[in-house]
Structure 1
Amino acid sequence: MLASAQILDPRALPVPQQRGPNRRRLLSLGRVWVLHRLVLTRVIAAIVVCILIAGIYQVRSHVAGALVMLGEIAQGEFADAGFGVSAISITGQTLTGEQSIFDALGIEPRTSTLDFDAEAARQRIAKLASVASVEVRKHYPGNVTVTIQEKTPVARWRVDGVTFVVDASGEQIGEDRGAYGDLPLVIGDGAADTALVMIRALDQYPTLSQGIVALSRIADRRWDLIYETGLRVQLPEKGVAQALRNLDEYQADYQLLDRDVSIIDLRVPDSVAVRPAVHDEENKKS
């Protein structure tokens, strides 16, 4: 064995490489990746998503502006092609102002029927105080029809010098500009809320309803009937139905409403008090 051995220069022998700190770090990272690949993938994906969201947030105004501009261009092209809204027909409105309806429709000069959202417009019009139901339709190429059914007015309510029309729930559904003079007039705070109850009670006594110009709510507790002659009938807070029955009997038996009195007081149950009318000549003498 020694006879066949070769003499070598020690400097020619290979030197094994030592694993330094950097090599150990790479091996450790490799082990981490192998052991936690799924978790690391999710973390990296979340970071990428956050970066994308941040980038989009930075340019959001530019993107939104571009989309709006493209929408306006497309809408203008449709309008130029003959699909622009050229006619709007509105029917069924009396209390509802046309301007309020136009504003709710949201139709601009170059709005096209292809782009116009009829359902969204219908929902906006339905929120108007006087509207009970509404139908909005578009008819190609360029017509829009609006059919309105309004709430039923039951009385006029005067407050602060302005007369409104109210529905059965007491809600103001429009301003009376003289078209509803045949409806009962109620005045006073809270009068609109309970007007229908009083009106229905009076409907049972046609004789008592003749000549009434207003129903006055007193301190939001009781009612006075005001007649065109100046007569005021004071009703009680409770027992109104019985008081009206008594008054109807007094009118039938004694024509009490036709007497020369200024006040008929029915606030005390089962009794009636009257105040004679005071005329101008008597005032001058006194």
Structure 2
Amino acid sequence: MRSLIRRRPETPKADPAPSRWSWRMQRLMLTPGFRFALRIGLPFTLSLLAGTIYLSDEDRRGAVMQTIADLRASIQERPEFMVKLMAIDGASDRLAREIRAAVPLEFPLSSFDFDLTELREQVTAINGVRQANVRIRPGGVLQIDVTPRVPVAVWRNAEGLALVDKTGAHVTKIASRAEQADLPLIAGDGAAEHVPEALRLIAAASVMGDRLRGLVRVGERRWDVVLDRDQRIMLPEENAVQALERVIALEGAQEVLTRDVARVDMRLASRPTLRMNEDATREWWHIRQLSGQ
């Protein structure tokens, strides 16, 4: 009886270990670089490929560019982004006209079309402007705040008359001396480069009152102080202010400049020299001749 019962063969159990390819795939999926390439790199590459194929057609590319341009224009030309006028503060009427001529703008303009840095450079390039600030105010106003150069002297040069500031920078040209009669006059080549020294000399000579006519730069090396009656004080290259003060002291003590003196030569500090005018010289020679007889 037992011999008639057959046992069913036992089925082999499945191996729980993964296959070689499955194991390699699992290890690959655990690699950060592969996961990044799969989640981001692959979609980006496919999108780029599709976009390249789509834009390879010139008509489709032109349509896309036109759509972008129309969208950009619709945003930039909105009323809240439009600039309607220009306001200039801190400048005289003449300087304001020069600024408007140097920055010719036709309003209204979109604020996106402005290069404020370039505008500021254009404004500061004007001779009469020392510093400028350019911004767009709410309400569509291009605001230009100007710090002008303040003229301190009139410079007579080969090209005419010009106003200069305390640093010697050119401010503007003038047609006649009468336009700025309140400012001192300097003349000669290179005079504008030595305005600080000229101002110190003018301050020292202020005790002479209306007798002072101006300063002349001689040989681009030194100054001559020009007084009325065509008198000149010839100053040295060094210590010019001190030399002028010595002459002023002599005038106070001996009234040197009230006499018939044409030149006071202070170029040699150890030996000041007085030069009489022609009439005084002739009279002196006449007196000598009479005394010799």
Answer whether TM exceeds 0.5 for this pair. Answer: yes
Q: Deviations over 1:132-157 (max 9, x none)?
A: 22122323433222220012333221
Q: 1:93 to 1:277 in 2, by over 3 A?
A: farther
Question: RMSD of the alignment, in Å?
Answer: 3.9
Query: How big is the shift at 1:119?
Result: 4.0
Note if contact 2:76-2:111 (Cα within 8 Å) is conserved in structure 1: no
The runs of 5 or more residues in structure 2 that have no matched partner are: 1-51, 53-57, 284-293
Query: How big is the shift at 1:101?
Result: 1.6
* Aligned-pair identity (%): 26
Note if contact 1:157-1:186 (Cα within 8 Å) is conserved in structure 2: yes
Question: Any residues of structure 2 matched to 1:1-286 within 5 Å, and which?
Answer: 70=69, 74=73, 78=77, 81=79, 84-94=82-92, 97-113=95-111, 115-177=113-175, 179-208=179-208, 210-269=210-269, 270-276=271-277, 278=279
Aligned residues: 220
Q: 1:83 to 1:179 in 2, by over 3 A?
A: farther
The runs of 5 or more residues in structure 1 that have no matched partner are: 1-51, 53-58
TM-score between both structures, scaled by the size of structure 1: 0.62
Q: Which amino acid aligns with 1:111?
A: L
Structure 1 stretches of at least 4 aligned residues deviating more than 4 Å after TM superposition: 81-84
Q: Deviations over 1:157-210 (max 9, x none)?
A: 111241112223322232235553322211111111113213213413432464
Q: Which amino acid aligns with 1:166?
A: V
CA–CA distance in 1 between the matches of 2:260 and 2:240?
A: 24
Q: Deviations over 1:104-149 (max 9, x none)?
A: 5452244234543434422331233332221223234332222200
Task: Name the one with the larger helix percent.
Answer: 2
Query: How big is the shift at 1:278?
Result: 4.1
CA–CA distance in 2 between the matches of 1:95 and 1:172?
A: 18
CA–CA distance in 1 between the matches of 2:136 and 2:246?
A: 59
Query: How big is the shift at 1:227?
Result: 1.6
1:90 match: secondary structure: strand
Q: Deviations over 1:42-86 (max 9, x none)?
A: xxxxxxxxxx9xxxxxx9xxx9xx89xx59x9399828x476433
CA–CA distance in 1 between the matches of 2:181 and 2:139?
A: 43
Note if contact 2:83-2:109 (Cα within 8 Å) is conserved in structure 1: yes
CA–CA distance in 2 between the matches of 1:116 and 1:223?
A: 48
Note if contact 1:95-1:175 (Cα within 8 Å) is conserved in structure 2: no
CA–CA distance in 1 between the matches of 2:259 and 2:75?
A: 74
TM-score between both structures, scaled by the size of structure 2: 0.61
1:134 match: secondary structure: strand
